[in-house]
Amino acid sequence: MSARTGGQILVDQLVAQGVERVTCVPGESYLAVLDALYDAKIDVLTCRQEGGAAIMAEAYGKLTGRPGVCFVTRGPGATNASHGVHIAMQDSTPMILFVGQIETGMREREAFQELDYRAVFGSMTKWTTEIDTPDRIPELVARAFRVAMQGRPGPVVIALPEEMLVALAEVPDVPRVEPATPAPAPADVTALEKLLEGAKKPIAILGGSGWDEAAIDAMADFADRWSLPVCTSFRRADRFRWDHRCYVGDLGIGPSPKLSAMVKEADVLLLIGGRMSEMPSSSYTMIDIPVPQQTLVHVHPGAEELGRVYAPTIAIPVPPRAFTPALASLSPKGMPAWADATAEAHAAYLDWSGKTRKLPGDFQYGEVVRWLNENLPADTVLCNGAGNFAGWMHRHWRFSQLGTQLAPTSGSMGYGVPAAIMAKRQKPGSTSIVIAGDGDFLMNGQEFATAVQHDIPFIVIVIDNGMYGTIRMHQERDYPGRVSATRLKNPDFAAYAKAFGGHGEVVRRTEEFAPAFQRAVESGKPAILHCFLDPRALSVGKDMPEGAPL
Ligand SMILES: Cc1ncc(C[n+]2csc(CCOP(=O)(O)OP(=O)(O)O)c2C)c(N)n1
Ligand SMILES: [Mg+2]
């Protein structure tokens, strides 16, 4: 065995774990890692801001189920990156953030950019640690991969003291780790069958992480056999297929009133993978806390989540991919009593998602979303951040493949651009698009430069209504007519795209959209379509009140 530097040992561990790409903003605090990456077969995406780099890594975790890896420098690099770490925590995404750390001998003097990472990231990660000696790198990195994936997935932060990265050690690598995956107890599965046999109005809610295609197939067969209505949770609509006869829609911000009522009035709730947090539960109004009015069967990979908010009747601590195959043994004795109600609810979903309302102005945004959805291949990855503009996508986009919706359940603006860049890098054969608000886009719009630099063609559709529309909507409700801090004066986003070396176009009318989109695809470059939405079109469901100041 030969001696290697800490930087080399660390990069060799990434290779051993099967890491194919990392994102970073370089820093002088981890030069030895950058140098080791020079020789490694790892795709390094150099980003413009650590928030963008961290979100790209988070999106990798969402897409693959293995940790996305991001490197940033100490102090401001780490605090910038916290944007992506917080998303990984709330969205249960495996991710590892490596942070260059000051020299150990300078600690506690508030040295240049010094931070106590355990304190800063303590409530935002599953584990935050620092590696003191290079001979412990293999052990601790392997553990980080395990922690990030096992149980409820989430982020790990590892600080790397500068002198540790150049010190030499002789230590063997640790082979690739796979998360331990428990199986559901057969007695719980039998108890579920009994519950369903006695149920009158059951419904399944799919969400969270830990899904794979086979798990969705198994769920689709199970739903079909039992005519069981299935909905998806907030920003997890790709956990099922829109055209399945049992699909009844998604629970998000402003869900369909019919779907809401179904969940509230259900007698048995089968919650698989999700937490039914504030957004999908319409601010915790759908399920009583702590004891639900419905009989709750909760399947979640983190045992600590079961009963944290809602007391389950049956608690099954396994990821969806381990649970739904066990449903294969369950069959109803006859035609379930709710079969007609399921068919009606599916028809209601088709109606709800298919109908667009006439908006004020020349840009019919709902029609544009439907046109995109109908004309792009089913494996198109749709990415977004936060804002009212997302309401149209969530209402009208119909998903049929896992991994085609990348959106923060944490509600973080600025998510779409970095996520779409990672999606295209990861799946170069698929189309990757972002729909962003004019506020949302500029929170990580700088990563457009990353896409140009690394030749990653994707398309951003910026919905410009000249305001932080969501907050304006809340203001109109609570403080009508008093517009405070929510107006935006925007740049020319098409010119922005061109200045960065991409393709840019302005779209003012609905009919201009399709040809502009086509030209954006044909350009083969990262592209922005700057679309103007009338500010009176305040949300997917509602216009600005009459007479409100614009
Ligand atoms: C990082 C972050 N900062 C602030 C917010 C609060 N917030 C939620 S939506 C929103 C406005 C979004 O504006 P825009 O992207 O223009 O979309 P619109 O609502 O106008 O469609 C704001 C400021 C947030 N969710 N995330
Ligand atoms: Mg806006």
Distance 376 CA to ligand 2 centre (A): 25
Query: In the predicted model, what is the mean pLDDT of residues 62-85?
Result: 98
Atom of ligand 1 nearest to the CA of 473: 19
| 504 SS3 class | strand
Cα three-residue angle 231-234-240, rounded to 5 degrees = 40
Which pLDDT band holds residue 1 (cuts at 50, 70, 90)? confident
| Nearest to 525, CA basis, from 454, 461, 440, 443 | 454
Which pLDDT band holds residue 438 (cuts at 50, 70, 90)? very high
pTM (2 decimals)?
Answer: 0.98
262-288 per-position pLDDT tens digit: 999 999 999 999 999 999 999 999 999
Give me the amino acid identity at 525. K
307-352 per-position pLDDT tens digit: 999 999 999 999 999 999 999 999 999 999 999 999 999 999 999 9
The per-residue pLDDT for 315 is 98
Distance 438 CA to ligand 2 centre (A): 5
484-502 per-position pLDDT tens digit: 999 999 999 999 999 999 9
Give the torsion sign (CA, 503, 442, 411, 52): positive
- Ligand 1 atom 20 nearest Cα: 469
Q: Best mutation site among 410, 470, 473, 550 for ligand 1, i.e. most ligand atoms within 8 A of its Cβ?
A: 470
| Nearest to 229, CA basis, from 211, 248, 216, 213 | 248
Reading the block at residue 405, the tokens are: 């919706």
Pairing of strands 21-24, 432-437: unpaired
| 419 SS3 class | helix
Distance 470 CA to ligand 2 centre (A): 8
Distance 439 CA to ligand 1 centre (A): 6
Dist CA 244 CA 222 (whole Å): 12
